[in-house]
C-alpha cells in the first residue's frame, strides 16, 4: 500500500495506462514540459517523449476534434482541458461528433476528456463551473466523477480503456486536500458502480465529488449529536449510474438527501430524484430533498463562494430537517 493524494491518483492512472498501451497519448495546453496547470503531468514528457505527450494551441474545439480523428484510427487520446468551463467552447465537437460517431458509423471513439472542475479556491465563474448535468444529457457520452485517490486512479484506467468517449471530471479542491492508502497496482474500477462510504438506516445521502467528504462529515456529526445513522453513497460514475445501489439504499433508509456542488435546476440531482420518485416512491417516509448550489454564477469573493457552495454545516441542517420530517 502507498499513500496517495487525489492528484497523485490521477497521475498514477495516466502513467499506468501509458506504460501499458503505447496507443495512449496525452495532449493539451501546457501539459508537456510545464506539466499542466495543476502539475498532474509533470515528468510525462521525459518518460514518454514528444510524440505521445505534447502541447496544443488554445483551441478546445481543435483539440477535441483532433482527438476524435486519432481515436477512429486506433489511438486512445487523453485530452487535458485546463478547466471544464473551457469545454463549452467545444460542445459541438463533444456532442455532435465524439458522442455520435459510433452511433452513426459503428466506429469506436475511445477518447478521455479530463476536465478539472468545482469551486472552493476563489476561481470565479469561468474556472469553477460544475457541468456534469450538461454532459450527462448528451447521448453517447459516459461521465465519471471520482471523490477518492484510489477511485481517481482506477476510474481513469477504466475510462481510458473504454471504447466510448468519457468525460472524466476532477474536482480541483480535492487535488491536494484528500489522501488515502491505495494498492500499488493500478487496477481498474468498473464504471457504473457506486461506492457505499458510510452505512446507516435512518437516511441516505446520494452525492459525488467534493461533496462526498462534506456529506461524510455531516453524517458523522448527526450521528454524534442526535444518534441517527446516515448512509453516504458516492455515485462515482454519473453516466451510467448505479441504479441498483441507489434503490437498495432507499429501501433500507426510506429518507433521501441528494447533494451536489452544481446548480439546482436540471442538475444531476434531479435525475436521481426522478429515479426515486418513479421506482421507490412507495418506500419513502419523507419527500426527497436536494442540497445544491443556487442557480447563479460561481462568485469570486471567498465569503460569497462559501455561501454559494454546499458544505458540512448546510448538509447537516438539511439532514436534520429530513430526519425530523
Distances 118 to 121, 122, 174, 187, 217 between C-alpha atoms, Å: 9, 10, 9, 26, 19
What are the residues whose beta carbons fall under 8 Å from the beta carbon of 80, sequence distance 6 or more? 26, 27, 28, 29, 31, 36, 40, 41, 114
Cβ–Cβ under 8 Å, residues 294 and 262: no
How far is residue 182's CA from residue 254's CA, in Å, rounded to a whole number? Answer: 33
Burial class (CB in 10 A: 0-12, 13-18, 19+), 237: buried
Q: φ, ψ for residue 30 (rounded to 5)?
A: 65, 30
Q: φ, ψ for residue 50 (rounded to 5)?
A: -75, -15
Which of 127, 177, 213, 260 is catalytic? The answer is: 127
Query: Which of 69, 81, 142 lies closest to 109, judged by CA?
Result: 69
How far is residue 272's CA from residue 73's CA, in Å, rounded to a whole number? Answer: 37
213 is known as an active-site residue = no
Cβ–Cβ under 8 Å, residues 77 and 25: yes
How far is residue 312's CA from residue 162's CA, in Å, rounded to a whole number? Answer: 35
Helix (H, G, I), strand (E, B) or coil at 68: helix
Query: Which of 38, 194, 188, 53 lies closest to 116, judged by CA?
Result: 38
As a whole number of angstroms, the longest Cα–Cα distance in the chain is: 60
Q: Which residues are catalytic?
A: 127
Amino acid at each position: 500500500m502507498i499513500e496517495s493524494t487525489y492528484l497523485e491518483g490521477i497521475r498514477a492512472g495516466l502513467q499506468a495506462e501509458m506504460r501499458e498501451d503505447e496507443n495512449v497519448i496525452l495532449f493539451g495546453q501546457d501539459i508537456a514540459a510545464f506539466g499542466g496547470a495543476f502539475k498532474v503531468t509533470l515528468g510525462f514528457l521525459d518518460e514518454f517523449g514528444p510524440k505521445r505527450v505534447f502541447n496544443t494551441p488554445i483551441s478546445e474545439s481543435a483539440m477535441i476534434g483532433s482527438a476524435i480523428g486519432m481515436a477512429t484510427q486506433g489511438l486512445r487520446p487523453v485530452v487535458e482541458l485546463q478547466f471544464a468551463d473551457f469545454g463549452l467552447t467545444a460542445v459541438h465537437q463533444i456532442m455532435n461528433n465524439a458522442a455520435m460517431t459510433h452511433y452513426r458509423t459503428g466506429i469506436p471513439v475511445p477518447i478521455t476528456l479530463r476536465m478539472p472542475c468545482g469551486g472552493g479556491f476563489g476561481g470565479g465563474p469561468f474556472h469553477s463551473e460544475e457541468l456534469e448535468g450538461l454532459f450527462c444529457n448528451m447521448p453517447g457520452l459516459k461521465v465519471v466523477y471520482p471523490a477518492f485517490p484510489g477511485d481517481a486512479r482506477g476510474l481513469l484506467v477504466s475510462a481510458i480503456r473504454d471504447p466510448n468517449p468519457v468525460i472524466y471530471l476532477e474536482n480541483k479542491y480535492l487535488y491536494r486536500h484528500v489522501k488515502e492508502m491505495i494498492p500499488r497496482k493500478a487496477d481498474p474500477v468498473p464504471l457504473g458502480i457506486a461506492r457505499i462510504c458510510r452505512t446507516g438506516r435512518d437516511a441516505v445521502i446520494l452525492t459525488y465529488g467534493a461533496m462526498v467528504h462534506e456529506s461524510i462529515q455531516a453524517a458523522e456529526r448527526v450521528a454524534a449529536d442526535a444518534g441517527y445513522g446516515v448512509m453516504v453513497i458516492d455515485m462515482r460514475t454519473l453516466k451510467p449510474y448505479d441504479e441498483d445501489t441507489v434503490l437498495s439504499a432507499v429501501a433500507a433508509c426510506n429518507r433521501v438527501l441528494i447533494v451536489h456542488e452544481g446548480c439546482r435546476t436540471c442538475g444531476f440531482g434531479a435525475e436521481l430524484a426522478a429515479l426515486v420518485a418513479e421506482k421507490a416512491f412507495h418506500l419513502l417516509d419523507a419527500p426527497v430533498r436536494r442540497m445544491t448550489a443556487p442557480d447563479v454564477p460561481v462568485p469570486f469573493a471567498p465569503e460569497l463562494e462559501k455561501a454559494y457552495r454546499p458544505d458540512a454545516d448546510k448538509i447537516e441542517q438539511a439532514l436534520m430537517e429530513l430526519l425530523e420530517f
